[in-house]
Amino acid sequence: MRGRIAVLLAATLVLGGCIKKPQVILVDIKIGGMNFQKIDLICLFRVNNPNWFDTSVYSFDYSMLVGGQPIAQGELPQPIPKVPAYGNEIIPVAASIDFNQLSRIVRQAHAGNSVSYKLSGRPVFNMLGLPVPVPVTHSGRMPSLLAPRWKLRGVGLRSGPKPAFLLTFEIENPGKRDLSLNGLKGSLKLNGQTVLQIYETSVTKLPSGEKVRIVIPVRLGVAAMYRAAKQAMANQEALKFDGEFKLKTPALMREMLLGSEKAKRPGWPGH
């Protein structure tokens, strides 16, 4: 009951012009990182406070639809920065897109080179002790990306002055856009036990609609390599790679995510 009274009182003050709602604008979308499992987004909202008093944020819920289907949602953790009187503050909101779920949506939508998305936020501000919600939405299009698939195809040894343990992976890019592998890290396991740790940062092109074989050299000391080789060669079928393949963010990705909003606003680079 008290909550309803507070909301009604806040609405009365806003409608009466005693206080003004803060302005919430999406100003940028950054790609925090991409791998074969997920795409991490950082959405930057600028909050302008037109009032003579500071305001804080009670809560900030967000959700994202792709192709009309929900793909990410959550709540911004506390603490959320205060917004000074007649000032502004940038509030970052992190959201993760499940790459496999995105792939299913893109296939179901029979999307061409891009698919629609809608980002919604619902910050609730503390205005002189009263809760004032200020919903914000942004719609646009993003590239129709499909999650790459991979298989561990074999292990081997390279002799010579720089001996190395060799891992061969087959990676398929089923999408319509070229991607770039930006490295991988993880461990090679045999029956659940770690045989060796892997960290590789080289870049490999993944052409659209093609399968690529890559060989990752893992350099070890002679004794460690001998033990790893003995374990791995004994039962290659039981070997499993547990880790992540990192992707380089396509240049078009960020440009398309914010493209329609960028085109509307003066002051952006290029205007």
Q: pLDDT digits over 201-245, tens only?
A: 887 999 999 999 998 887 765 555 556 665 665 566 677 889 999
How far is residue 67 from each of residues 41, 140, 189, 245, measured CA to CA in Å? 17, 11, 38, 26
- Residue range 193-204: average pLDDT? 82
| HEC-encoded secondary structure of 137-167 | EEEEEEECCCCCEEEEEEEEEECCCCCEEEE
- 32-41, 103-112, 170-179: range with lowest mean pLDDT: 103-112
Paired with 109 in beta bridges are none
Report pLDDT digits (tens) over 65-115. 999 999 999 888 877 788 999 999 999 999 999 999 999 999 998 878 889
Q: Which domains does the chain have, with CATH numbers?
A: 2-141+252-264 (2.60.40.10), 149-248 (2.60.40)
Asked if the bond preceding 77 is cis, omega within 30° of 0, the reply is no
User: What pLDDT score was predicted for residue 234?
Assistant: 59
- Please tell me the distance from the alpha carbon of residue 201 to that of residue 185, in angstroms, as a whole number: 8
| C-beta of residue 78 within 8 angstroms of C-beta of residue 91 | no
pTM: 0.81
- pLDDT beyond 80 at 59: yes
Q: Evaluate if residue 149 carries a pLDDT over 90.
A: yes
For residues 180 and 173, give the distance between their C-alpha atoms in angstroms, rounded to a whole number: 10
Which pLDDT belongs to residue 52? Answer: 93
Indicate the helix (H) or strand (E) that contains 48: strand 38-48
- State percent of the chain over pLDDT 70: 81
What is the reported pLDDT for 154?
Answer: 83
At 250 the pLDDT is 83
> Using CA of residue 78, residue 81, residue 84, residue 86, what is the dihedral sign?
negative
